[in-house]
Amino acid sequence: MAKHSQWHISGLPAFLLAPIAIPCIIIGIICQKVFGLKSTADLTPLDVANYLEDWIDGKGGDWDWDDFTSIPITDPYLESVREEAAHMAYPFGEDDIVRLRELVRDVKALI
Same domain, 22 and 61: no
pLDDT tens track for 80-111 = 999 999 998 878 889 999 999 999 999 999 98
**pTM for the whole thing?**
0.67
Report the alpha-carbon distance of residue 78 to residue 95 in Å, rounded.
Answer: 21
Predicted local distance difference test score (pLDDT) of residue 83: 96
At 23, which helix (H) or strand (E)? helix 12-34
Residue 64 has pLDDT above 70, yes or no: yes
Q: Is residue 54 part of a domain?
A: yes
Residue 20 host element (H or E): helix 12-34
Residue 1 in this model has a pLDDT that exceeds 70: no
Rounded Cα–Cα distance for residues 11 and 79 (Å): 42
Note whether residue 2 is domain-resident.
no
For 89, the domain range is 45-108
| Contacts with 77 (C-beta within 8 Å, 6 or more apart), sequence order | 110
Query: Are residues 71 and 100 located together in one domain of the fold?
Result: yes
The pLDDT assigned to 3 comes to: 56
Do 33 and 49 reside in the same domain of the chain? no
50 shares its domain with 99:
yes
Instruction: Check residue 39 and give its pLDDT.
Output: 80
18 domain residue, yes or no: yes
Sign of the dihedral through C-alpha 46, 57, 60, 92: positive
